[in-house]
Amino acid sequence: MNSRFTLFCTGSGLAFGALFVVAWLLIAGFFPLHLPSASANDIADIYATNVGGIRAGMMLSMLATGFYAPWIAVLYVVTKRIEGDAAPIMAATQIVSGAMGALVFCLPTIIWTAASYRVGRDPELILLLNDLAWLILTVIVSPFIFQNLAVGIAILRDKANIPLMPRWLGYINIWASVVYVPAVLIPFFKSGPFAWNGIIALWLPASTFFCTIIIMTIYCRKALMNDTYVTIA
């Protein structure tokens, strides 16, 4: 299972993270983040002054999301290897949740593109599209919660004498799923730690998500290169 192609797919999660962040934050100019409390005119001005950058950044962000697909496929392969072929429920949960998560990243890029497509329109409409995109990206965390839970549970249920992945990695995934939960409070706040630009609702979950990708990439690579592991159902 240690073919070059498989190992390339293992690294695709890192490619997704790097490309998405560069395209979204730097090319599109979404840093500093839009304030949830900003007026319609303020948001419309942001789009009017960086139309080309926003469109280019969002298209690259959308393309970057494609790299997330082979990475969740690798997670499926590794998780299924732990569970075996009889009932790989956690592996199936992980890949379905991961596919839903890819849409969470992809859909807002199209909405932000739509907001920049006709910058002369009513600022209230631009604000509406901008709010919608932000809320999709930051509030829909259930796919990521269940993706990490599935991986974490599978790792902790590994009955092999020498587990395919260390148990602490299972706890890391479960902890990550808990960190994502406060994002559901975002619709109730326009400022503070629970707003879409807040430390608890955004920055902590986002940093946890990307750190988890890095850690899982390292250990998925090791798992794929492990030819001695034997599943115990």
The number of helices, as runs of H, and strands, as runs of E, in the chain is 9, 0
CA distance 171 to 176: 8
pLDDT digits (tens, 9 = 90+) for 144-158: 999 999 999 999 999
Q: Which domain holds residue 50?
A: 4-224
Is 229 within the bounds of a domain?
no
Which tens digits make up the pLDDT trace of 159-190? 888 899 999 999 999 999 999 999 999 999 99
129 vs 7 pLDDT, higher one: 129
How does residue 2 score in pLDDT terms, banded at 50, 70 and 90? Answer: low
State the DSSP H helix or E strand holding residue 112, giving kind and residue range, or none if neither: helix 89-117
45 falls within a domain? yes
In a domain, 232, yes or no: no
d(CA 136, CA 107): 8
* Number of domain units in the chain: 1
In a domain, 233, yes or no: no
- Residue 230 within a domain: no
